Amino acid sequence: MATVAELKELPGFLQDVIKKYPKVWESYKNLGAALGEVDGLDRKTQQIVKLGIAVGAGSEGAVHSHAKRCRAEGFSDEEIYHAAMLAATTIGWPRAVAALSWINDVLKGMRAEAK
């Protein structure tokens, strides 16, 4: 089961899903941990790649989550924006700009919290 601290970081509806299906959540977390341990990319690089995947998938929630995680891994705002901009030629300008707006919301909120 997710800890109270873990749950507070997640959207309300996801918290409800986790409480209803704790074994599924634990399995999902374990899969993520196992994938992160595969030889290849370091932890920091994995986060920027996951941000790019979230941008390409058009998943606002995942973009929010991975933008935060990228900051936690030490990426600058400029590096995070650049990762999203690279998607423009693959997913199109409108979808890339949408992702940039989601990233901007997160980073702006993080800067406000830091004050």
pLDDT at 115: 80
Do residues 80 and 92 share a domain? yes
Provide the 3-class DSSP secondary structure of residue 58.
Answer: coil
pTM for the predicted model, two decimal places: 0.85
Domain of residue 98 covers 41-115
Token readout for 113 is 């919290």
Do residues 5 and 49 share a domain? no
Do residues 18 and 45 share a domain? no
Do residues 65 and 78 share a domain? yes
* Alpha carbons 5 and 41: distance in angstroms, whole number: 28
pLDDT in tens, 44-63: 999 999 999 999 999 999 99
Do residues 65 and 112 share a domain? yes
Percent of residues, the chain, with pLDDT higher than 90? 83
* Alpha carbons 7 and 5: distance in angstroms, whole number: 5
pLDDT at 114: 84
DSSP conformation class of 41: S
Do residues 63 and 95 share a domain? yes
Contact 83, 55 (CB under 8 A): yes
Do residues 58 and 113 share a domain? yes
